[in-house]
Amino acid sequence: MPLSVQLKTPVTGEYTQPTGLWINNEWVEGVDKKTFEVINPATEEVLCSVSEATEKDVDIAVAAARKAFNGAWRTTTPHQRGKYMTKLADILEQNIDLLAAVESLDNGKSISMARGDVHAVIGCIRYYGGWADKIEGKTIDVDHESFHYTRPEPIGVCGQIIPWNFPLLMLSWKIGPALATGNTVVLKSAEQTPLSALVFANFVKEAGFPPGVLNIISGFGRVAGAAISAHMDVDKVAFTGSTPVGRAIMKAAASSNLKKVTLELGGKSPNIVFDDADIEQAISWVNFGIYFNHGQCCCAGSRVYVQEGIYDKFIAAFKKRAEQNSVGDPFDENTFQGPQVSKLQYDRIMGYIEAGKKEGATIETGGERHGDKGYFIKPTIFTNVTADMKIMREEIFGPVVAVAKFKTEEEVIHLGNDSSYGLAAAVHTKNINTALRVSNELRAGTVWVNCYNLINFQVAFGGYKESGIGRELGEAALANYTQNKSVSIRLGGALF
C-alpha cells in the first residue's frame, strides 16, 4: 500500500494524507500489511484506506519508544524538550486550516468548531512545553544527620488510546503532559477518525523530536488497543472513551504488568437551571451544553433540571433555540451541527430515542433523522423524563437531552448526584450562595456556574465515580505522568 494518498477538502483543495504507521519518525506499513477504510460521515463515502496496526506493530512501536526512553530522550534536557514542544506548536499554528479541514472531513464536525479544536490543541502543547523545565522536586528537612530530596521522574513508555469525538484535541491532552515530563509515547487513534493524527505525525520530526519519542498508529481497539493495554513493556496506559472499555483496560493492566492507569470515561452530566437564572443566558448555555460537537462530548450536559417557576417558559424558549441550530454540511462556515461520527453511533442514538418514546417521555422537538444522506440527527429534546428512564441514566452521546422539573435545591442536588457518573455539572442562578452551595454538593470533577463546556488546558479536568481515574490538563496532569523518587543521604556516621 502507498504510504500516502491525495485527498481534497473544500478548505485546502488537494493535500497529501499520510496513511501509514508513524513509528520511529518514519512512515511504515503494518507488518501484516492490513488496512481499513476511513469514512466521511457527512456523505457515507470512503475517503481512503489506512494501515492497521496489529499486535506485531504495537511491539515494534513499543520497542522504539523504549529505546528512545532509555537513550536519546533520557539525555535530552528538560529545556530542550520544551523547545521541541513549542516548535511543534509553532508548526501546527502554520497549518490550522489543514488540520481543521482534515478533522471536519473525517469526524464530521463543523469547520468552525474544528478550527476551535486546533487552537486548543496548539495552546495545550505550548502550555505543556512551558512546563517541561519546571518539573521540580522537594528537599525535606528530617534531622541534622541526613538529607532527603525527591525527584519527579517520568514513568516510561506510555500507551495512549484516544476516541473519535475530538481526535486532535484528545491527542494533545495525552501527549502534552507525557512528553513534557520526559516519557515516550505510543498513541493509538480511534478507528473512526485516524486521519488528523496522521497529518499531525508529519510534523513530529520537523519539530525535532528524536526517533521513537512519539509514535502514532491507527488501528482497532480490540487488536492494537488491547495489545497496548496488555503489553508487558508499556509502563502506563492513558485512555479516553467508554466506561466498559475503561474497565477492560484496567483489567488488562492488572493482569499484565500492573501498568499505571488513567481513565477519562463517560458522563451523564446534570445542568441545573434555577428560577432566578438569567433565562436567555441559561438557554444559550444549555443548548451549547448538549448540542456542541453533536452531543458527542464526555461532559455533555445531557440531564437538564429546570425549576418549576420558569419551567414552561424555559421549555418553549429552549425548543425554539434548538430548532434554530443549523444542522448540515460540516464545511459550511455557518454550520453548528454536523453528522454523528459513524453509522454505529447513529444507530445507537436512534435506539435511545426509541427507548425514550417507549418509556413515555415526551418529544418536544427532533427525534428523527435530518436529511437523507449522512448520519445527521435533529437536535432532540425529551421532557417528562423520570429518574429511572434509560435516557436519564445512560450516556447517549448524541444530540438528545433529557429534561425534568424540580422544586427545591435539596431535591435537585439529590437528582444531580443520582448517577454512576461524575464528570461535570452546571448551575445557573444569579444567587452566589446558591451557586456555591450547589457546586460544593455536586459530585463531579468540574462544575460550571452560569456557563457550560468552558474547558481550558490550564484547568484540570476529570471524573468522580465511574467517570474516570486521574486528571487531565493543568498542573494536575503532570502527576499522572511522573513518579516520585525519594533519595535519602546520611550525613552523619553509622547509626548502629
Catalytically active residues, by annotation = 264, 297
Q: How distant, in Å, are the alpha carbons of 68, 82, 325, 359, 492 from that of 179? A: 12, 9, 39, 48, 39
Nearer to ligand NAI, 121 or 438 (CB): 121
Closest to Mg ion by CB, 32 or 37: 37
Q: Which of ligand NAI, Mg ion, none does residue 266 bind to, with CB < 5 to 8 Å depending on kind?
A: ligand NAI
Binder among 265, 385, 426, 473 for ligand NAI (CB under 6 A): 265
Q: How far is the CB of 164 from Mg ion (least distance, A)?
A: 7
* Contact present, 177 and 256 (Cβ < 8 Å): no
- Number of other CB atoms surrounding residue 220 within 10 Å: 16
Q: Which three cell numbers stand for residue 473?
A: 490538563
Residue 163 vs 289, nearer CB to ligand NAI: 163
Among residues 118, 158, 234, 245, the one that binds ligand NAI under rule CB under 6 A? 245
**Counting contacts by CB under 5 A, is residue 106 touching Mg ion?**
yes
| Cβ pair 295, 396 in contact under 8 A | yes
The angle formed by the CA atoms of residues 205, 208 and 214, to the nearest 5 degrees, is 55
Q: How far is the CB of 47 from Mg ion (least distance, A)?
A: 7
Site for ligand NAI in 369-398 (CB under 6 A): 395, 397
- Asked if 166 and 55 touch (Cβ cutoff 8 Å), the reply is no
Binding partner at 39 among ligand NAI, Mg ion, none, C-beta below 5 to 8 Å by kind: Mg ion
Question: C-alpha grid cell for residue 435?
Answer: 451557586
H helices of 140-278, in order, are 167-180, 195-206, 226-230, 243-255
- Pairing mode, strands 446-449 and 424-428: parallel
Contact between 176 and 166 (Cβ < 8 Å)? no
φ/ψ of 83, rounded to 5, equals: -65, -40
Using the structure block, give the residue that is written with the C-alpha cell 456557563.
Answer: 451
Which partner from the list Mg ion, ligand NAI, none does 161 bind, CB cut-off 5 to 8 Å by kind? ligand NAI
- The answer to whether 472 contacts ligand NAI (rule: CB under 6 A) is no
**Chain residues 61-100 in contact with ligand NAI, contact rule CB under 6 A:** none
Of 82 and 176, nearer to ligand NAI (C-beta) is: 176
> Smaller CB distance to ligand NAI: residue 66 or 174?
174
Cβ proximity to Mg ion: between 164 and 285 the closer is 164
Q: Does 39 bind ligand NAI (CB under 6 A)?
A: no
Smallest separation, CB 297 to ligand NAI (Å): 7
Give CA–CA dist 306/315, Å, rounded: 9
Report the nearest approach of Mg ion to the CB of residue 163 (Å). 12
Q: Would you say 217 and 58 are in contact if contact means Cβ atoms under 8 Å apart?
A: yes
* Among the listed residues 20, 221, 289, 356, the single contact to ligand NAI using CB under 6 A: 221
Q: What gap in Å lies between CA 476 and CA 472, rounded to an integer? A: 7
Could you say which of 51, 110, 229, 271 contacts ligand NAI (CB under 6 A)?
229
Residue 190 sits in the site that holds Mg ion (CB under 5 A): no
Query: What single string gives the DSSP state of each residue in 160-172?
Result: EE--SSSHHHHHH
Using CB under 5 A as the binding rule, the residues of this chain from 35 to 54 that contact Mg ion are 39
Q: What are the backbone angles phi and psi of residue 4, rounded to the nearest 5°?
A: -160, 160
Q: Contact between 167 and ligand NAI (CB under 6 A)?
A: no
**Which of 410, 174, 229 shows the shortest CA–CA distance to 307?**
410
Residues that bind Mg ion (CB under 5 A): 39, 106, 192
Residues that bind ligand NAI (CB under 6 A): 161-165, 188, 190-191, 220-222, 225-226, 229, 240-242, 245, 248-249, 264-266, 298, 345, 348, 395, 397
